[in-house]
Amino acid sequence: MKMKKLAIFAVAAALLTPFGSSASAAKNCKVASVEGWGLTEALAKSQAHSLLLLSTGNFPVQNDKFSKPKDECKLTPLGWTCKTTAKVCKK
């Protein structure tokens, strides 16, 4: 009877392990957001992406894993402004 309970607990622990590791991986992630400016939309996006790397400590060597950046750009009287947001996870 004890062996049967032990086997059930072992199977339950094995099934729950992936959920536990993903929860701990989520703790190592944060959302970073920066804003860049440029005379063109492409320059504003480029500056925002560079600032994202700088602000998270990933320049000149990228040590963390980034999600695909999401850009929200708008034209202002002085040029383009782009707000870039990405999820940054420690490796």
Which residues lie across from 86 on neighbouring strands? 32
pLDDT at residue 67 greater than cutoff 90: yes
DSSP 65-89: EEPPPEEEEEEETTEEEEEEEEEEE
Note the pLDDT of residue 13.
Answer: 43
List, for residues 70-87, the tens digit of each pLDDT value. 999 999 999 999 999 999
Contact 45, 52 (CB under 8 A): no
Note the pLDDT of residue 27.
Answer: 78
Note the pLDDT of residue 91.
Answer: 84
Please give the Cα distance from 31 to 61 (Å, whole number). Answer: 19
List, for residues 6-63, the tens digit of each pLDDT value. 444 444 444 434 444 445 556 799 999 999 999 999 999 999 999 999 999 999 999 9
Contact 48, 71 (CB under 8 A): yes
Please give the Cα distance from 41 to 7 (Å, whole number). Answer: 60
Please give the Cα distance from 79 to 75 (Å, whole number). Answer: 6
